[in-house]
Structure 1
Amino acid sequence: MLSTPPAEVADIDLSSMKFWSRSPSERHRDFARLRRHAPVFFAEPEMGPIPTGPGYYALVRHADVIEASRTPQVFASEPSAISIPDMPQEFAEYFGSMINMDDPRHARLRRIVSRGFTPRMLAKLDDDVRREAALIVDGLLEKGPCDFVSEVAARLPLNIICAMMGIPEDLRETVFADSNIVLAGNDPDYLGEDADTAVRRLLEAGAELSGILAELAGERRRRPADDLTSALVHANIDGELLTDQELGSFFILLAVAGNETTRNGISHALKLLTLHPDQRELWWSDFEAHAGTAVEEVIRYASPVNWMRRTVTRDHEMNGVHYRAGDKVLLIYPSANRDEEVFDRPDAFDVTRSPNPHVGFGGPGPHFCLGAHLARREITVMLRELHRRVPGIHSTAPPQRLLSSFVNGIKSMPCAF
């Protein structure tokens, strides 16, 4: 195991929030250096009262991320995919969802959850997305220049996810606030200034989200409705039903992951179209012709999720590097999405890019994002509605970015039209 990075990249520390607080262009210059010396071993970041572990390899090349994603029997999601240190038991109660599991438990849960996404429910969802996007633009036109994230980008996924699950409207702001805390990374605006406060707020947010779903699940067991919660509590495959803990963890995953990719995808799209007027003009000249490739390019270029963790289950050689059982690796998606070996002009934003084998929804394999289709649909519908009714919308100042190593998030960004 390497103990220190090579001299050529010794000044780069992916465990430091100073790295993640830098501009995207600075980070990508460092990722390019890391790709030339991949993989590089890093010490684990300090996580307050959570014990740190032995460190991790950063997989920054596209080929490594793809291969590790395709071999979950070697690169496992257990015990945690979303935390570099192993999560304490009290965290696992709320955040131990199927994203942190391997087969056969992962396959069982994914199979049950997939039963909730029937063709009838997906058709209804499509109508809901179009209707919600139209209502959001109605409000935008009435309000005028505003914060694009809170007034537009965040509203669509939040309302769609809550509608899918059957969450009452009076609880949606609570779901939004709690999901922000769960995804806060190291941002003091959400977690406070000290580690003890951060841990307390995370556990409180997880407990509140889990409690909302537990109460709703009890109601749906007695009186089923036409929503995903009803489908999940009554889904039975070979005698298998989801437990209350599994339901709560899935809802937290859905509220957080479903919110994050779409909200940040829409926010990054407006920023990119503002910074690249030639690409905006090209896309806007024939929205439907370019929508498919353009949305994929937004996801590649923005890479809303920065990494996922895997744990090596046995000694293994991959692309010339020998890994030992127990080693941790981080799949660094934004670096893989700019790999010069795979993408022509990787730093160019090109709405016509094809092919575009990005890993913005994760690499291939059992953990490819379950909601990728919905995220693509939401981003496309929201941008179509903006193109149709407020084609001149643009950001008017640099975005306020989330201080997080895990999520490439935008907290706020003013817009005008």
Structure 2
Amino acid sequence: MTFPAQRYGGPAGANLADPAFWQLPPEDRLAAFARLRALDGPQYFRERPAGRRRPERGHWALVRYADVQEASRNPKVFASAPGVTTPEPARWVRALFGDSMVNLDGSDHAQLRKIVQRAFTPRLLAAAEADIHAVAARIVDDVLARRPDEFVTAVASRLPLEVICNMMGIPEHYRPEIADRVNHASENIGVERGLGARLRIPGRGLRALARMQRMVAGIGRERRRNPADDLISALVTADVDGQALGARQLGAFFALLMVAGVETTRNAITHGLALLTDHPDQRELLLSDFEAYADGAVDEMIRHSTPIIQFRRTVRAGHTLGGRTFVPGDKVVLYYASANRDEAVFPDPDAFDITRSPNPHLGFGGGGPHFCLGAHLARVEMKALFRELLSRPRELRAVGLPDLAGSNFDNRVRSLKFAFE
């Protein structure tokens, strides 16, 4: 196996700070993570050397399950602010668009999460689950009638987008533009493709984000005047310790929901189809008793594909973890994609096994205050869609390999050819 030239060095024959590393085939990247897990502790990767007027920038890579989980559950030491993505959001971006909940800590995060959790009433969740099954059936009926050949656009993106828009109460005429804005805002997250792309793409993504946030802010203002039975109404009229979501908070939450609720679920669904095609024995087992194996299949799809590859944390207090002592100001990156293949937790971790039990994957985070709010709905969506896809008389399969984005942030699939036969 040959790894790219390392700009600033890198242990175990891999440089996680080199964009070229993320262009490697997935199996090569996973092999590099396995070598990193075998070392004596977290390794340091230099993202940028020191200059005359700028300090060196780099991060410590947490690649073992135990380390990722511990850091996730200790936010007083491993803080999400000022940002969980690489690179961190600029101050002016945060000032303009507001802080996303994933980038907050302590009381600020707890208060915002409390407002959102209170809005997810049992009635709203029950209605969302019923809607998921109806939308999944309608999408598969449409696919069988029209016979498209590209899975992401025709199936995987449609389900989570329609479900979230229905739950939020987004009018139909806004939805095509929202879908387009989501793609523009997220298609290059964590991807570096040369100087020209670095200069152009962020502006394109921010313009898409700004238009999306203005759109949902306008809907929020209307819902304050005329509340409806939807999530936006619940969020903007909530009374949690005298607070509800303001316009910027609503916009930031909606943008987060579009990435966390649409992008991650669509990618998990698409990887799931590819996995079932590549492992016909597991597909037959699932078909033999769908209700018995579906929950395990969904969790194994999420573990195996790990839709979010990594999140960043900033060290706030001195702390020893995994044999390394960190000091305030250090940056650490939680590599969920590596933790979900840790041999110490998952026997034969590269195998796709829908009967894997237990399966304590970190596909929704490592626990703690930032555990994914939408984990339950994502599982329901995946289970409902695969029930519909696999129960029809025609056999569904992927055709060829997924076209991956080569991102260091999410395991994004641009497209996947498929067919019913």
Pick aligned residue for 1:132 from 132, 135, 141: 135
Corresponding residue of 2:391: 388
The answer as to whether partners of 1:5 and 1:40 remain within 8 angstroms in 2 is: no
Q: Counterparts of 1:1-80 in structure 2 under 5 Å? A: 9=12, 11-37=13-39, 38-44=41-47, 54-80=57-83
- 2:340 corresponds to 1:340: no
SS in 1 for 2:82: coil
- 2:378 corresponds to 1:375: yes
Q: After the TM superposition, which of the residue ranges 297-306 and 77-86 deviates more from structure 2?
A: 77-86
- 2:113 corresponds to 1:99: no
Letter in 1 for 2:107: P
CA shift, 1:315, in A, is 1.1
CA shift, 1:85, in A, is 3.6
Corresponding residue of 1:165: 168
CA shift, 1:196, in A, is 2.3
- Structure 1: distance between partners of 2:48 and 2:307: 21
- 2:303 corresponds to 1:295: no
- 2:177 corresponds to 1:174: yes
- Structure 2: distance between partners of 1:192 and 1:132: 42
Cα–Cα, structure 1 residues 273 and 388, in superposed 2: closer, same or farther, change >3 Å? same
Q: Counterparts of 1:16-415 in structure 2 under 5 Å? A: 16-37=18-39, 38-44=41-47, 54-94=57-97, 96-184=99-187, 185=189, 193-389=196-392, 392-415=395-418
- Structure 1: distance between partners of 2:10 and 2:230: 53
| 1:165-223 deviation per Cα after TM superposition (whole angstroms, max 9, x unaligned) | 1111122122122222222225589x994322112112101101110111000100111
CA shift, 1:385, in A, is 0.7
Letter in 2 for 1:23: P
- Structure 1: distance between partners of 2:98 and 2:405: 20
| 1:306-354 deviation per Cα after TM superposition (whole angstroms, max 9, x unaligned) | 0011100011111321001010110000100000111111010000100
CA shift, 1:369, in A, is 0.4
The answer as to whether partners of 1:175 and 1:255 remain within 8 angstroms in 2 is: no
- Structure 2: distance between partners of 1:186 and 1:235: 35
SS in 1 for 2:400: coil
Letter in 1 for 2:134: R
Q: Structure 1 stretches (4+) deviating beyond 4 angstroms?
A: 4-7, 186-189
TM-score, normalised with respect to structure 2? 0.93
The answer as to whether partners of 1:95 and 1:253 remain within 8 angstroms in 2 is: no
TM-score, normalised with respect to structure 1? 0.94
Cα–Cα, structure 1 residues 391 and 289, in superposed 2: closer, same or farther, change >3 Å? farther
The answer as to whether partners of 2:190 and 2:410 remain within 8 angstroms in 1 is: no
- Structure 2: distance between partners of 1:228 and 1:45: 42
| 1:358-416 deviation per Cα after TM superposition (whole angstroms, max 9, x unaligned) | 10110010000010001001000000111111551001111111131101011111101
SS in 1 for 2:57: coil
Instruction: Quote the RMSD (CA, aligned, Å).
Output: 2.0
CA shift, 1:33, in A, is 0.6
Number of residue pairs matched?
408
Cα–Cα, structure 1 residues 187 and 43, in superposed 2: closer, same or farther, change >3 Å? closer
| 1:262-296 deviation per Cα after TM superposition (whole angstroms, max 9, x unaligned) | 10111011000000011111111110000111100
The answer as to whether partners of 1:74 and 1:312 remain within 8 angstroms in 2 is: yes
- Structure 1: distance between partners of 2:10 and 2:102: 32
